Amino acid sequence: MRDRDSAGAPARLALTAELLLLDGLTRAGRAAALVLAAAVAACWGFAALALHQQALTARAGGASLSPLGALFADGSSALTAWPGWLAAAILGVSATRIRRGPVEPPAGRSTAGELSVAEVRSGLRREYVGARLILIVVSALTLADLARLAVSGIAALLGVSGAGDGLPWMGAEVAGLGAATVALTAWVLSFRRQLERVGALEPSRAIDGGRGSPS
């Protein structure tokens, strides 16, 4: 069992790097990219708290806030917590449908009968790149919101004014984004299995002992 887990670890890491479009980087490059993402998210956590306090001060002084300023002043609420959960539910259903359904031709102007096998595979690969780009964006949003929750939570414990405003809703918001990220990952993996089925993955994408290598 331990040998099997050890053998599967590199494949899982390679698949994770592929999903995040980091497979073209060295190990050092991948680590640097992850550290940079975490650092940017942490900076956003502190900046969001500062903007929240600034907006609260402006509102208390009677200033008229812009819609964006009002959003920072209000912080997380029921209005900001539900979109992630809705997206997670929709993506979860869609991932199940893709996993169980037939391979669909790539979206475009041409109908399926007008496309050659090579064109279908090329179109599916483009859609796979687009899906992974969306996954990166959603993952980045989740990481940034998680950093905002962590910074606000620690600041609230330290007694920083306004830091604890809407903290429970912020937790629900982060959890919803996390659920959406997991559901989108399942969707992308389901779509990847479709590419494996039709041999649309490039040779460098073969993971786990050659499973899904192009025919």
pLDDT reading at 75 higher than 60: yes
pLDDT of residue 209: 44
**Beta-bridge mates of residue 207:** 211
Measured CA to CA, the distance from residue 147 to residue 49 in angstroms comes to: 11
Do 38 and 23 form a contact (C-beta atoms < 8 A)? no
Q: What is the pLDDT of residues 151-165, one digit of tens each?
A: 999 999 999 988 899
pLDDT of residue 4: 53
Measured CA to CA, the distance from residue 41 to residue 52 in angstroms comes to: 16
Q: What is the pLDDT of residues 124-176, one digit of tens each?
A: 889 999 999 999 999 999 999 999 999 999 999 999 988 899 999 999 999 99
% of the chain at pLDDT higher than 90: 57
Measured CA to CA, the distance from residue 112 to residue 81 in angstroms comes to: 40
> Mean per-residue pLDDT for 90-101?
90
DSSP string, 186-206: HHHHHHHHHHHHTT-S-GGG-
pLDDT of residue 204: 45
pLDDT of residue 213: 39
